[in-house]
Structure 1
Amino acid sequence: MINNYKILGVNVNDDMSVIKLAFKKLASKYHPDKNNDSDESNRIFTKN
């Protein structure tokens, strides 16, 4: 089973603002529009 908290690198008990910030950072880091030539970014972004 996929653990979304682990993927984001946050704790289950973290505040929602911390979770949202972690999501935004990862989404920005791996978004295909920002990493056109990166196969890893495309794989990670479309995996979930």
Structure 2
Amino acid sequence: MLNSLIGIAEVKSVLHQMYLAISIIVGILFWMLAAILNINFHFEIKDEEK
């Protein structure tokens, strides 16, 4: 019984670590996307000024 509880706890911690890793990756991707969109937006503004 104790072994199965420890096993469940290990699985939960692994899932938690995966969730954190995915959250960080998604956050970085969104940040990069925002940076790219900002750059494109600034280029569009510069083109309009010309």
TM-score of the pair, normalised by structure 2? 0.37
Structure number with bigger Rg: 2
Q: Larger RCO: Structure 1 or Structure 2 (Cα < 8 Å, ≥ 6 residues apart)? A: 1
Question: Structure 1-normalised TM-score?
Answer: 0.38
Task: Name the structure with the higher helix share.
Answer: 2
